[in-house]
Amino acid sequence: MNLSVARCHFPVRGLGYGARTGIWLQGCSIRCAGCIVPETWESRDEHLVSLAALLRATQPWIEASDGVTISGGEPFDQPEGLFALLTAVRALGAGDVLVYSGYPWPMLQREHRAVLELCDVVVSEPYRAPAHAVTPLTGSANQRVHLLTPVARERYTGWQAFSPAASVAVDGADIRLAGVMSRGDVVKLAGSIEAASGRRTRLTHGAL
């Protein structure tokens, strides 16, 4: 089983409860206007990773995490791989599993019920730039947070009051952010980093 993977990071704070393992899948057929990570749309051979290799790389993180967040790209564009990944993550004892999707909730319930049964929290609906309204878990006002299990209701009831946070990963000249941030905040942060470091810095947003 192979998956198309954009990147992984630990710890991630700001895309769910506590300190989390973040896995971003590559490839998106939805392609929301105003998406801040269009580099995750196309899926090519170099993005393919075996499930076994992905688990070897992330297992120590998952075992140390409060939970796992899977974003993209669009995770549900790889339903078989997503199902296999979530099954393996559950076997490792992840505290909770949160999955982002740009698909409407009725479609996910109709076509991907088996995958939903492996999730604690799902954030659904496409990003809508005219409805841009950043919250601790969503980027536009139309998006919905679904609490599917007792652990989700225990940890995420009142999620709107979570403290905003962004995790930073440095990879050469790239500084990647994982969190729900407005485009204006990303641009301001990029300018501050370039002014302090004297070099051009490419920022990519990790959530939406």
Q: Answer for the pair 173, 203: CB distance below 8 angstroms, yes or no.
A: no
Residue 192 lies in a domain: no
CA 60 to each of CA 24, 54, 56, 94, 170: distance values in angstroms, whole numbers, following the listed order: 17, 11, 8, 11, 20
Q: For residue 108, tell me if it sits in a domain.
A: yes
**Residue 44 within a domain:** yes
What span, in angstroms and rounded, lies between the C-alpha atoms of 8 and 70?
A: 9
Residue 30 structure tokens: 């939805």
The proportion of the chain whose per-residue pLDDT surpasses 70, expressed as a percent, equals: 79
Count: domains in the chain: 1
**Quick one: pLDDT at residue 119?**
98
- List the CATH number of the domain containing 147: 3.20.20.70
Q: Is the pLDDT of residue 59 over 90?
A: yes
Q: Is pLDDT at 173 greater than 70 in this prediction? A: no
Q: Does residue 36 lie in a domain region?
A: yes
Q: How far out from the chain centre does Cα 44 lie?
A: 19
Residue 75 lies in a domain: yes
Does the bond joining 11 to the residue before it have cis omega, within 30 degrees of 0? yes
Identify residue 137 by its one-letter amino acid code: L
Which whole number is the average pLDDT over 105-114?
Answer: 98
pLDDT in tens, 140-172: 899 999 999 999 999 999 998 887 655 565 555
Residue 188's pLDDT band (boundaries 50, 70, 90)? low
Determine the structural domain holding residue 60 and report its residue range: 2-164
Residue 59 lies in a domain: yes
Residue 119 is assigned to a structural domain of this protein: yes
Token pair in block for residue 154 = 């225990």
Residue 131 counted as domain residue: yes
Mean of all residue pLDDT scores within the chain: 85
pLDDT tens per residue across span 198-207: 666 555 444 3
